Structure 1
Amino acid sequence: MKKIILFFMLCLTAFPMRADEGMWFLMFIERLNHRDMQKMGLQLTAEEIYSINNHSLKDAIVQFNGGCTAEIISKDGLILTNHHCGYDAIAELSTTQDNHLKNGYWAADKSKELKPKSLFVRFFVRMDDVSKRILSKVNPSMTEAEREAAVNKEIALIEKENNEGGKYVVSVRSFFQGNEYYYFVYQDFKDVRLVGTPPESIGKFGGDTDNWEWPRHTGDFSMFRVYADKNGNPADYSKDNVPLKPKHYLPVSMKGVKENDFAMILGYPGRTNRWMPAGGIEQNVKFAYPAWVEGAKTGMDNMKKYMDKDEAVNLMYASKYAQTANYWKNRQGMIDALTKFQTSKAKAGQEAKFNKWANQPANKAKYGNVVSTINKFYGMTNEKARHDNYLQQLLRTSSYGTVSRTLAKPLTAYAKADAAGRKEMAADMNEMIDEFFKEIYIPAEKDILNAQLKLYSTKSTGYAIAPMVEKIGKDNNGDFTNYVNGIFELSIFSSPARMKAFLAAPSEAMITADPLYQLSDELLKQLNSKSDDIAKAQNDFGASFRLLVEGLRESKIGTIKYPDANSTLRLTYGKVRSLPADKRNDAKINNYTTMAGMVKKYKKGDQEFDLPQRILDMNATKDFGQYVDKDGSMHVNFLTDNDITGGNSGSPVLNGKGELIGLAFDGNIEAMAGDVIFDSKLQRTINVDIRYVLWIIDKFSGAKHIVDEMTIVR
């Protein structure tokens, strides 16, 4: 998915932007063309969207578990997010006997809500500008390492000054490639419980095939609840905790949407790269992303063959597979879109204009070498980028790729401790071992590691691979089967019994001599290593990229007037907007989809397109209740032209009154280059219609008590 943000009114008046491009800081909403938003249909004041002293929309928006967005939709702390955002927690709470991931789950009352081991939501409290303060601590003569140290020292002071003795989490973030800094104050709540989820066949309908595609028919939602202590403060899980009474929660609209309706999204977009130089785009398209795609597919294929055979194994790998598959398709779409639109060529043209400006006498001393330094860095690191992406996919898909960090470090600390220390650590060590083996299946892990080592050793040809892997590959003609089987036979990390036997007689030497440890340690060292020449080029690149962004803004050659996304709360506004007519969609206008269209995709027994029989029966009788659209059909998903990206998953889609009309969950593949360049013609956000969410909860699942908890606007 995709997104971004507009900034100062000065920039906006000099360079008018389309309303559907950009994500905006809430603290600047009064300056960021609030009048234009009103003309499009906004009926709220800036104070009703963002206020420090009074409750406002921002108080209903939370970051969900660090990587998604969610919203509060009741006075009792009920939160709504995507099914794929709650996926990890739902999978963790599922067993082969009670498979909530497969069958769905709805708590009959609050006592039946389920607590996963680790899940938190983050509320945004306030933000402020600290650019002058931080930049006063740096100067152009510093190396990048020295600059980073000075910045981090000041950041630590700012965070300490504003956390009120640990009550808040404070994060200082860089914008415009280190040219500006803002701090953000948050409050975290860690007692978050599962309230309900539809079956996976609804929440993930269409699977990998429909991912990033339109038309879409996915009920991508799940529901949780935030709990606090009796005083409304964050607290660790306790049976005495009570549902949070939020400062603000979103009313839910049943009115539906139509073409050109105002649509506003608030959320935590993860990362965009719209300031990325041409050389970086070219590197990704030709070197980094193809390796990512191939490595991800290799891992997926070797997970899937075991997942399909055993439901218990499927639950073990469901979350890892889903995450890998999502980015696998995303990166291939990025390759295709960036190539099609010749994005690097367009960027290179802009940089040529900048370079001409930069080498004018008045600018040459500061900016003259910026473009050449940036291009030199990419030229030196293209093959390393390919190498690193093959290796990273090995480490991401193999649980044993990082074992020297995930398991060996705590076990080494245990081995070094005295008898009293070991006794104190024993319970945690046993729990760590049990948790690790609960999530892996050794035959699958062997095949994943074997296939990834072969891919890495044969495809990373332009940059030196890990010496151990190179030697083993040469000695075995690129076949790692015997090697992998052998190290699993010898390693203490290959079974819980061996690891627990280690706890009884620990030895640091036993860890460092372990063959799986040695492989993992070498792979991680290789990933993090760089030559002195590359290290220097990277230092020079960091300074030059910062100057490029500064110079593009100063010269007004750059057309982007907002910093990249970085997981801070943003607002994007636009409208409900169709794509050109598509014969695959039965809807009258290609800005929504219907349940009838979903049923047409139904394939009995298919992992991606199966549906519960109850859905088929209710569709046949048009049993849609009060959630039916005025055209007589059940709307499932709809399109807006909001500008979002990963991290916006689960974000609320709001009408002009601040009422919830949908839930953002994806983007369309035609505009897959959106993290790098915004396409105003094709870029769309795909949303779940809130009426379909309510229908699933009430009519399909029989959990009307949860709908009754919300404030419904008809």
Structure 2
Amino acid sequence: MKKVILCLLLTAFVLPVQANEGMWFLMHIERLNYRDMQKMGLQLTPEEIYSVNHSSLKDAIVQFNRGCTAEIISDSGLVLTNHHCGYSQIAELSTAENDYLTNGFWAGNKAEELKPKKLSVRFFVRMDDVSKRILSLVNDSMTEAEREATINREIAKIEQENNEGGKYTVSVKSFYQGNEFYYFVYQDYNDVRLVGTPPASVGKFGGDTDNWEWPRHTGDFSLFRVYADKDGNPAEYSKDNVPLKPKYHLTTNIKGFEENDFAMIMGYPGRTNRWMPAGGIEQNVEYAYPAWVEASKTSMDVMKKYMDKDQQVKLDYASSYASIANYWKNRQGMIDALTQHKTAESKRIDEKAFQKWASKKGNEKYANVIPVINKYYKETNDISAHNNYLGLLMRTRMASIPYRLGNAIDYYLQQNEAKQAEVKPQLDAEINDLYEGLYLPLEKNVLAAQLSLYSTKAKNVAPMVAEVADANNKNDGGWNSYVNSAFENSIFESKEKLEAFMANPNADILKNDPLFQLSTDLMTRLRYKTEEEKQLNNDFEHAYRLMVQGMRLQNSDEKYYPDANSTLRLTYGKVIALPADKRNDANKNYYTTLKGTVAKYQPGDAEFDMPKKLIELYEKKDFGQYADKDGYLPVNFLTDNDITGGNSGSPVLNGKGELIGLAFDGNIEAMAGDVIFDDQLQRTINVDIRYVLFLIDKFAGASHIIDELTLAK
């Protein structure tokens, strides 16, 4: 949806927080949010949402594979998340002969559930504030490096004190740019198995075209199950493991909802930067994000060429491609939104007000904050562009594998015979893991394309890249010929060549290997900072922390929530509509229906194809108990919750805490939301739980899964 909506953007740290704004800590809900939530329709107590001593909603919300959110929906450890969150595991389990990614998969019983190599879920146990303890150890006379070292020493103690002998994972996180600290206690389960997934033509319906757009018609879900030992404790995969009996699982509501109904989302939002200064926004829009977009598109164009030719290559690279494509569109959307809404100008206004406040008596420590911050951004614009070009280059597997494995081999060669025998199995496993699914023609072509882009667009490139680029220009050569030659003469060209080298390893051969030299040069450049840059970073970190501290003092009567950083948060709002849109057949533009899905159907199209059976069910209107009371089958719906990346797969809950859907996307108009919140633009796109259950039951015929659920009818 490309409509231009003009409105005043509100900064999170100056004007009052909007009703639907904020990613809130669960331990602060009673103090900061409970009355507002009650007025909007919440029927639960704060303790029913978050309790340390009793089971509560938080016990059903898990972090899925460290990058998404999921929820427990049965008393047998059944996990619901997005299709795109389970995408890499589904692709990994697929082959050209058993293509679950394309065709879907449904385990007929627990014995048929499939175990990916690596997949975990993380349960949140409790959290606490350790700000006073940590901040009592630091002072303003410390350099940032000294401050960080002091804090890290104390963090290590706190984590050790709370892990109960290794039973729990403990993480201490910084908030408000280092002005507050909290620790989080988690329990990780690593035996997680695939239960079911719709075909990609359902789970990814609309593809890149519909990504970040409304109206949507995507069945973006997949099902997994958590396994534990017989006592319910985390355990590595074993046939003897049993389905987890969770402390709490969500009730699934199929009664539906109406416009303006209360909706809350609990999940693990990845990253927001709502305190970001104007200079940072300008740097992203003009330097960092354009480099990201260009480098992403470079990789995508090459990858697609090979993926379209070979189904196994398509499966092997499906997850990588999808991730790159998602962020490519995200970053371009950020450029457009931040520019269109003049976000930097809005931030400048607040910074001028802050500067005026800082000039008053008693506020002198904040007087130089904004000038220092502005100086930092002015002098790091080109560095920002460089780091994004190089960062995307290093995501190319053969740009990073030689460095990673080369250093591991170098370490191996320096050990005595006994230590080598101990290290070798781990090294062999890492070699197998890194080369699995690697398609050499694609890798060579992507690496050459990225090197060409980096060498021509970035400033102060890695020395070896500059040297090769100069030679290529003089000799009318190209990066393809250089890369082909480097691979041909490298032990890292293939797993077989590397294994042959390891049979009789030689330190000189490793040291002079062309891919190891290139990879090392790139990684060294990525990590390099001049003394001037180090000082700029030191001054900036100190000033940024003071800016946030000062702005909170300047507006001390306001409620604050910290930026997202992959810790569990709650956001609340309503089911809410957009203005009428002729592309949506629904009576109100807050939901879509299967009728609209069929209307988008394009036979054979990679993005808009549909399974024949789904069309037949639509034509027969065979929706079972999952139809709305008005007779249509709901597909997706909108809320105004405040979410970001990492919230994918988060449960959408009604006032009773019952599951009504799961979040999977945002809207392109609110793409600036990671930096600045606008309650008029912010929308969350969700899969209606009734569509999920319809697909499981009527489409897949997996009624045994429905039987596991606790349904509110």
Q: Give the TM-score of the pair, scaled to structure 1.
A: 0.96
2: distance between equivalents of 1:32 and 1:255?
30
Q: Quote how far apart the aligned CAs of 1:559 are.
A: 7.4
2:563 maps to amino acid: D
Aligned to 2:701: 702
Consecutive unaligned residues in structure 1, runs of 5 or more: 1-11
2: distance between equivalents of 1:570 and 1:33?
12
Any idea what SS the aligned residue of 2:678 has?
coil
Aligned to 1:402: 400
Q: Deviations over 1:55-87 (max 9, x none)?
A: 100000001111110000000000100111111
Of 441, 444, 456, the residue aligned with 1:443 is 441
Question: For the structure 1 residues 535 and 22, does the alpha-carbon distance in structure 2 shift closer, same or farther, using more than 3 Å as the test?
Answer: same
Q: Quote how far apart the aligned CAs of 1:361 are.
A: 3.2
2: distance between equivalents of 1:621 and 1:610?
19
1:71-220 correspondence to structure 2 within 5 Å: 71-220=71-220
Question: For the structure 1 residues 522 and 599, does the alpha-carbon distance in structure 2 shift closer, same or farther, using more than 3 Å as the test?
Answer: same
Q: Deviations over 1:464-497 (max 9, x none)?
A: 1111111211211272121111001001101122
2: distance between equivalents of 1:428 and 1:182?
35
Q: Contact (CA 8 Å) 1:414, 1:506: kept in 2 or not?
A: no
Q: Contact (CA 8 Å) 1:403, 1:516: kept in 2 or not?
A: no
Q: Quote how far apart the aligned CAs of 1:420 are.
A: 3.9
Q: CA RMSD in A?
A: 1.6
2: distance between equivalents of 1:117 and 1:257?
39
Q: Deviations over 1:118-147 (max 9, x none)?
A: 111111111111100000000000000000
Aligned to 1:370: 369
1: distance between equivalents of 2:211 and 2:601?
16
2: distance between equivalents of 1:416 and 1:239?
39
1: distance between equivalents of 2:422 and 2:348?
59
Q: Contact (CA 8 Å) 2:32, 2:559: kept in 1 or not?
A: no
Any idea what SS the aligned residue of 1:493 has?
coil
2: distance between equivalents of 1:126 and 1:490?
53
Aligned to 1:601: 600
Aligned to 1:241: 241
1:370-519 correspondence to structure 2 within 5 Å: 370-396=369-395, 398-460=396-458, 463-477=459-473, 479-519=478-518
1: distance between equivalents of 2:445 and 2:331?
24
Q: Quote how far apart the aligned CAs of 1:307 are.
A: 0.2
Aligned to 1:321: 321
Q: Quote how far apart the aligned CAs of 1:16 are.
A: 4.8
Q: Quote how far apart the aligned CAs of 1:187 are.
A: 0.7
1:81 maps to amino acid: T
Q: Contact (CA 8 Å) 1:457, 1:470: kept in 2 or not?
A: yes
Q: Contact (CA 8 Å) 2:80, 2:221: kept in 1 or not?
A: yes
2: distance between equivalents of 1:272 and 1:597?
33
Aligned to 2:664: 665
2: distance between equivalents of 1:139 and 1:376?
24
Any idea what SS the aligned residue of 2:413 has?
helix
Q: Quote how far apart the aligned CAs of 1:15 are.
A: 6.9
Aligned to 2:279: 279
1: distance between equivalents of 2:544 and 2:142?
15
Q: Quote how far apart the aligned CAs of 1:400 are.
A: 1.1
Consecutive unaligned residues in structure 2, runs of 5 or more: 1-11
Q: Deviations over 1:652-690 (max 9, x none)?
A: 000011110000000000110000011111110000000
- Greater Cα offset, 276-285 or 20-29: 20-29
2: distance between equivalents of 1:418 and 1:139?
45
Q: Quote how far apart the aligned CAs of 1:566 are.
A: 0.7
Q: Deviations over 1:637-658 (max 9, x none)?
A: 0000000001101000000111
Aligned to 2:340: 340
Question: For the structure 1 residues 560 and 466, does the alpha-carbon distance in structure 2 shift closer, same or farther, using more than 3 Å as the test?
Answer: farther
2: distance between equivalents of 1:574 and 1:409?
50
Q: Contact (CA 8 Å) 2:23, 2:563: kept in 1 or not?
A: no
1:561 maps to amino acid: Y
Q: Contact (CA 8 Å) 1:104, 1:198: kept in 2 or not?
A: yes
Q: Deviations over 1:244-287 (max 9, x none)?
A: 11010001000112100110100011110000011000000000
2: distance between equivalents of 1:707 and 1:231?
26
Any idea what SS the aligned residue of 2:399 has?
coil
Q: Deviations over 1:503-539 (max 9, x none)?
A: 1101222222110111111111111111111110110
1: distance between equivalents of 2:403 and 2:256?
50
Q: Quote how far apart the aligned CAs of 1:414 are.
A: 2.8
Aligned to 1:544: 543
2: distance between equivalents of 1:331 and 1:14?
26
Any idea what SS the aligned residue of 1:177 has?
coil
Question: For the structure 1 residues 59 and 557, does the alpha-carbon distance in structure 2 shift closer, same or farther, using more than 3 Å as the test?
Answer: closer
2:348 maps to amino acid: A
Q: Give the TM-score of the pair, scaled to structure 2.
A: 0.96
Q: Contact (CA 8 Å) 2:62, 2:69: kept in 1 or not?
A: yes
Question: For the structure 1 residues 466 and 560, does the alpha-carbon distance in structure 2 shift closer, same or farther, using more than 3 Å as the test?
Answer: farther
Aligned to 1:7: none
Q: Deviations over 1:400-446 (max 9, x none)?
A: 11124432222223333344444444444333333333221111111
Aligned to 2:524: 525
2:499 maps to amino acid: K
Any idea what SS the aligned residue of 1:614 has?
helix
The answer to whether residue 617 in structure 2 is matched with residue 614 in structure 1 is: no
The answer to whether residue 254 in structure 2 is matched with residue 258 in structure 1 is: no
Q: Contact (CA 8 Å) 1:299, 1:448: kept in 2 or not?
A: yes
1:125 maps to amino acid: V
Any idea what SS the aligned residue of 1:394 has?
helix
1:43-58 correspondence to structure 2 within 5 Å: 43-58=43-58
Q: Deviations over 1:614-642 (max 9, x none)?
A: 11111111111111111211110000000
The answer to whether residue 633 in structure 2 is matched with residue 630 in structure 1 is: no
2:193 maps to amino acid: R
Q: Quote how far apart the aligned CAs of 1:558 are.
A: 11
Q: Quote how far apart the aligned CAs of 1:17 are.
A: 2.9
2: distance between equivalents of 1:557 and 1:119?
43
Q: Deviations over 1:301-333 (max 9, x none)?
A: 111100000001001110110000000000000
2: distance between equivalents of 1:552 and 1:667?
29
Aligned to 2:711: 712
2: distance between equivalents of 1:91 and 1:349?
48
Q: Contact (CA 8 Å) 1:624, 1:695: kept in 2 or not?
A: yes
The answer to whether residue 555 in structure 2 is matched with residue 556 in structure 1 is: yes
Aligned to 1:588: 587
Any idea what SS the aligned residue of 1:171 has?
strand
2: distance between equivalents of 1:508 and 1:613?
59
2: distance between equivalents of 1:15 and 1:399?
45
Q: Contact (CA 8 Å) 1:262, 1:655: kept in 2 or not?
A: yes
Q: Which runs of 4+ in 1 moved over 6 A?
A: 12-15, 557-560
Any idea what SS the aligned residue of 2:85 has?
helix
Aligned to 1:6: none
2: distance between equivalents of 1:187 and 1:25?
18
Q: Contact (CA 8 Å) 2:13, 2:560: kept in 1 or not?
A: no
Question: For the structure 1 residues 400 and 273, does the alpha-carbon distance in structure 2 shift closer, same or farther, using more than 3 Å as the test?
Answer: same
1:436 maps to amino acid: L
1: distance between equivalents of 2:193 and 2:416?
38
1: distance between equivalents of 2:145 and 2:425?
40
Q: Contact (CA 8 Å) 2:14, 2:555: kept in 1 or not?
A: no
1:127 maps to amino acid: M
Aligned to 1:8: none
